[in-house]
């Protein structure tokens, strides 16, 4: 039965691949391709589920492909199937099937009809890779696909200002969650001395051997997993991204942010439960986080004027309760709660346009005064204070801006003196000196050799922070991002066992993507004359092919699973030692800011209102 798991990944991939070659005007063929892909998947699930139940519901595990293996490292794709996968599969397939039927008529004659169904099928592929993942490395592949499809669907109305800006915000929060997952993978590699599977986590003897006593690295893994889960499931302090994600079409809002994607944080906690179940302090933190989020999200939901925002915060509140159930060990209850919340929120979002029109009519013809609520029993000062805080969504957006984005921008602006010439003539010789130190490290004292990797990784981090705030030159921004990867490769090269072939493997994807992106920028400059990053230009309207090629180049630089760099990133972290926490943190942060900078760059060049006045220019408000 294990080999059957491949087909559950293969079917969505074939459906997505076929949809790419269907002309945009063939709406019926596009919708039927999605319909039959998800329908066949759902039927296959029920047949497989019957056989699985008949075989005593044993956990299935398939080590499918070993992509890279060295003396000290192995990267392999692993799939598993158990009760958790079964529930997430049933909910995901059922809701995607219904949404494809709904979208056929809802998006009829929409300009992005083909783009929508391509993205939905790509999302469905990533979702299945994530829920069938048998280890963190495979899970990360699906995780990355879900992140980019989220960005594309929120920015579906790409000639408007707010959808594009909110898409960048959501993707940025997702990348923060990626820091946690990357560092958790790094710590697990050192904790278990290899890439461990979720099936091995169920081995009590193995887990008790490594987590026999509370250790710093064990608590660190648990907290990084919690950070990732909180960011993905919009728990505090990341809750504000979910209502912003509702800028996309109603079907994508329903399937992504009402039901499937937003519950993957819960899935991650369930999958890694054995890693932190004996750490009482971590379980207490999860309970407090879920309870606080549930209370605050409920209060915010009660004062929202937008029906989508009400549903979003209602969903956040319920997910907070599911976090509590997982932390208390109620796995079955959490799965039932997930299924019920997912179906309810999808239904609410799909009928929300009809409900709004109905309520407007009722407001005119059957007015009813506001009923008393439990808040009316509170002292008026407390009631009004909480009301104002809830109206402002507890200033969560400002909090994230104050803690993260403003410091990054201000730090980047301190390096505004850097120009393309200075980067080449100043940092080029510095990099050559670093290579000299690498190949003649015997002349270096142990202290200098110990700190050089941190210094070089910091230089890479400074470059990517500068690219994050760069607005004058797209070419400078692109060059800084590429050079960041070269500095990281140089920093890790000082660690033993990281051979030259490993560095070449990692940088091969960077070089290819960098060249393709540079050619795309040159072509755009030739056609448009000026390409800075001061505003959103909307060039995708006239240059869709260049936009698509540049998007692929951006994905390649972010470590998306289309180039060897994706495996190379994991390979790099496997060579960062357990006592090099600062180096791991700097490297992970550089990777994350790198992705945010690239998406901002793509969005400013190709998305947003048309810069040319002879095209329709929508208002900033969507």
Tens of pLDDT, residue by residue over 361-418, are 665 566 666 667 777 777 888 888 888 888 888 888 888 888 888 888 888 888 887 7
For the chain, helix, strand, coil in percent to 5 are 75, 5, 20
Model pLDDT, residue 366: 66
> For 260-278, what is each residue's pLDDT tens digit?
889 999 999 999 998 888 8
Q: For Cα atoms 285, 290, 293, give the angle at the middle one, nearest 5 degrees.
A: 120
Q: How confident is the model at residue 621 (pLDDT cuts 50, 70, 90)?
A: very low
**Helix axis angle, 474-493 to 500-528, nearest 10°:** 180
**pLDDT over 90 for what percent of the chain?**
39
Report the alpha-carbon distance of residue 98 to residue 90 in Å, rounded. Answer: 12
Question: 593 Cβ partners below 8 Å, 6+ apart?
Answer: 175, 408, 461, 464, 465, 468
Report the alpha-carbon distance of residue 238 to residue 170 in Å, rounded. Answer: 10
pLDDT at 321 over 90: yes
Report the alpha-carbon distance of residue 451 to residue 55 in Å, rounded. Answer: 56
Model pLDDT, residue 412: 85
Give the 3-state DSSP-derived string for 243-271, with helices as H, strands as E and coil as C.
HHHHHCCHHHHHHHHHHCHHHHHHHHHHH
Average pLDDT value for residue range 310-334: 93
> For 408-437, what is each residue's pLDDT tens digit?
888 888 888 778 888 888 888 888 888 888
Tokens for 115, please give them.
Answer: 């783009």
> For 191-246, what is each residue's pLDDT tens digit?
777 778 888 888 777 777 666 555 678 788 889 999 999 999 989 888 888 888 88
Report the alpha-carbon distance of residue 124 to residue 118 in Å, rounded. Answer: 10
Tokens for 380, please give them.
Answer: 């008026």
**Helix axis angle, 83-106 to 331-365, nearest 10°:** 20
pLDDT at 101 over 70: yes
Highest mean predicted confidence (pLDDT) among 157-161, 176-180, 315-319: 315-319
Residue 167 CA: distances (Å) to CA of 77, 246, 603: 30, 10, 9
CA distance from start to end of the chain: 49
Q: How confident is the model at residue 622 (pLDDT cuts 50, 70, 90)?
A: very low
How many residues are present in the chain?
A: 622
The position carrying tokens 């005593």 is 56
Average pLDDT value for residue range 583-590: 91
The position carrying tokens 């949404």 is 99
Tokens for 236, please give them.
Answer: 């505090």
Report the alpha-carbon distance of residue 337 to residue 351 in Å, rounded. Answer: 21
Count of CB atoms situated within 10 Å of the CB of 321: 17
Q: Which residues of 76-108 are buried (b: 16+ CB within 10 A; e: fewer)?
A: bbbbbbbebbbbbbebbbbbbbbbbbbbbeebe
- Compare 91 and 580 and report the one with higher pLDDT: 91
For the chain, which residues make up each domain, given as ranges? 2-361, 414-606
What SS3 state is found at 63? strand
Question: 303 Cβ partners below 8 Å, 6+ apart?
Answer: 387, 390, 391
| DSSP character string of 422-438 | HIIIIIHHHHHHHHHHH
φ, ψ dihedrals at 62, nearest 5°:
-130, 110
Strand partners, 69: 74
Q: Give the helix ranges, DSSP H, for 55-160.
A: 83-106, 113-132, 136-154
φ, ψ dihedrals at 104, nearest 5°:
-55, -45
pLDDT at 341 over 50: yes
186-195, 205-214, 504-513: range with lowest mean pLDDT: 205-214
In 3D space, the residue among 279, 295, 189, 184 whose CA is nearest the CA of residue 236 turns out to be 295
287-296, 349-358, 505-514, 581-590: range with lowest mean pLDDT: 349-358
282-286, 410-414, 458-462: range with lowest mean pLDDT: 410-414
Q: Give the helix ranges, DSSP H, for 368-443.
A: 380-391, 396-400, 406-413, 420-422, 428-439
Residue 350 CA: distances (Å) to CA of 87, 241, 339, 382, 454: 22, 20, 17, 36, 51
CA–centroid distance for 247 within its chain:
17
Q: What pTM, to 2 d.p., does this model score? A: 0.91
Q: For Cα atoms 181, 185, 190, give the angle at the middle one, nearest 5 degrees.
A: 150
> Cβ distance 39 to 75 under 8 Å?
no
pLDDT at 445 over 60: yes
Model pLDDT, residue 359: 64
**Which one-letter DSSP state was computed for residue 615?**
S
| DSSP character string of 29-57 | HHHHHHHHHHHHHHHHHHHHHHHHHHTTT
Tokens for 429, please give them.
Answer: 């010789």
Model pLDDT, residue 179: 87
In 3D space, the residue among 574, 550, 565, 420 whose CA is nearest the CA of residue 496 turns out to be 574
In 3D space, the residue among 142, 125, 162, 132 whose CA is nearest the CA of residue 62 turns out to be 132
The position carrying tokens 């993205």 is 119
Instruction: Look at the alpha carbons of 215, 217, 218, 219 in this order and tell me if their dihedral is positive or negative.
Output: positive
> Cβ distance 370 to 286 under 8 Å?
no
123-137, 163-177, 448-462, 603-617: range with lowest mean pLDDT: 603-617
- Is the bond leading into 237 cis (omega within 30 degrees of zero)? yes
Highest mean predicted confidence (pLDDT) among 52-66, 188-202, 503-517: 503-517
């Amino acid at each position: 039965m294990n080999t059957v798991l491949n087909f559950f990944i293969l079917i969505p991939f074939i459906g997505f691949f076929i949809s790419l070659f269907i002309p945009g005007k063939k709406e019926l063929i596009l919708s039927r391709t999605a319909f039959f892909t998800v329908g066949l998947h759902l039927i296959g699930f029920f047949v497989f589920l019957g056989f699985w139940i008949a075989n005593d519901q044993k956990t299935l595990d398939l080590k499918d492909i070993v992509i890279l293996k060295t003396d000290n490292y192995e990267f392999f794709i692993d799939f598993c199937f158990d009760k958790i996968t079964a529930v997430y599969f049933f909910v995901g397939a059922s809701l995607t099937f219904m949404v494809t039927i709904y979208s056929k008529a809802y998006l009829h004659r929409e300009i992005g009809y083909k783009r929508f169904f391509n993205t939905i099928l790509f999302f469905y592929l990533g979702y299945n890779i994530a829920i069938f993942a048998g280890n963190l490395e495979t899970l990360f592949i699906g995780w990355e696909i879900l992140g980019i499809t989220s960005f594309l669907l929120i920015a579906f109305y790409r000639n408007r200002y707010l959808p594009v800006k909110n898409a960048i915000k959501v993707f940025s929060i997702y990348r923060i969650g990626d820091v946690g997952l990357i560092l958790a993978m790094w710590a697990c590699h050192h904790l278990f001395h290899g890439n461990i599977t979720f099936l091995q986590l169920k081995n009590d003897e193995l887990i008790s051997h490594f987590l026999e006593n509370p250790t710093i690295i064990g608590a660190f893994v648990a907290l990084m997993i919690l950070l990732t889960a909180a960011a993905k499931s919009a728990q505090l302090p990341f809750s504000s991204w979910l209502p912003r994600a509702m800028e996309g079409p109603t079907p994508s809002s329903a399937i992504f942010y009402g039901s499937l994607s937003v519950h993957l944080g819960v899935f991650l906690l369930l999958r890694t439960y054995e890693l932190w179940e004996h750490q009482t302090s971590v379980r207490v933190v999860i309970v407090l986080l879920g309870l606080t989020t549930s209370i605050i999200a409920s209060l915010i939901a009660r004062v929202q004027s937008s029906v989508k925002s009400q549903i979003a915060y209602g969903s956040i509140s319920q997910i907070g309760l599911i976090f509590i159930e997982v932390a208390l060990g109620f796995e079955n209850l959490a799965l039932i709660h997930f299924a019920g919340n997912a179906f309810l929120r999808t239904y609410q979002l799909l009928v929300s346009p009809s409900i709004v029109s109905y309520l407007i009519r009722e407001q005119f013809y059957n007015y009813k005064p506001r009923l008393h609520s439990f808040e009316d029993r509170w002292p008026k000062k407390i009631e009004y204070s909480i009301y104002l805080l809830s109206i402002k969504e507890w200033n969560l957006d400002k909090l994230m801006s104050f803690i993260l984005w403003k410091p990054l921008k201000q730090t980047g602006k301190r390096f505004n003196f850097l120009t393309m010439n200075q980067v080449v003539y100043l940092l080029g010789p510095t990099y050559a000196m670093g290579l000299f130190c690498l190949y003649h490290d015997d002349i270096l004292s142990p202290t200098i050799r110990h700190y050089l990797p941190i210094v070089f990784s910091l230089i890479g981090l400074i470059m990517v922070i500068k690219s994050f705030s760069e607005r004058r030159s797209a070419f400078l921004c692109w060059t800084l991002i590429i050079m960041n990867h070269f500095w990281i490769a140089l920093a890790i090269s000082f660690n033993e066992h990281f051979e030259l072939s490993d560095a070449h493997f990692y940088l091969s994807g960077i070089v290819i993507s960098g060249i393709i992106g540079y050619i795309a920028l040159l072509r755009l400059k030739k056609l448009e004359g000026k390409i800075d990053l001061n505003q959103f230009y909307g060039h995708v309207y006239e240059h869709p092919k260049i936009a698509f090629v540049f998007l692929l180049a951006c994905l390649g630089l972010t470590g998306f699973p289309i180039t060897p760099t994706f495996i190379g990133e994991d390979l790099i972290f496997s060579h960062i030692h357990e006592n090099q926490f600062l180096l791991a943190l700097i490297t992970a942060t550089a990777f994350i800011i790198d992705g945010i900078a690239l998406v901002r760059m793509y969005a400013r060049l190709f998305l947003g209102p048309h810069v040319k006045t002879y095209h329709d220019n929508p208002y900033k408000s969507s």
